[in-house]
Amino acid sequence: MAPPIEARKARFGQWVKRVVDHAKATRGLSVPKIADLAGIGNQTIYRWINAAGEKLPDPENVRAFCDAVGVPTTEPFQILWPGRTDTPTPAQPLSVLDDDFQLLQRRLNDPNTSEFEREFIRETIRQLADRPSQRPGHTPRRRKPGIAT
Longest dimension (CA), the chain: 55
Looking at per-residue confidence, does 29 or 86 come out higher?
A: 29
Confidence (pLDDT) at 32: 95
Q: Domains of the chain (ranges plus CATH)?
A: 5-80 (1.10.260.40), 92-149 (no CATH)
Burial of 20 (0-12, 13-18, 19+ CB in 10 A): buried
CB neighbour list of residue 56: distance below 8 Å, 6 or more residues apart: 5, 8, 9, 80, 81
Query: Which residue, 108, 105, 107, is CA-closest to 93?
Result: 105
pLDDT exceeding 70 applies to what percent of the chain?
79
Nearest-angstrom CA–CA distance, 39 and 148: 8
Give the residue-averaged pLDDT of 6-33: 95
Lowest pLDDT segment from 46-60, 68-82, 83-97: 83-97
3-state SS, residue 110: coil
Confidence (pLDDT) at 130: 77
Confidence (pLDDT) at 141: 53
CB neighbour list of residue 130: distance below 8 Å, 6 or more residues apart: 140, 141, 143
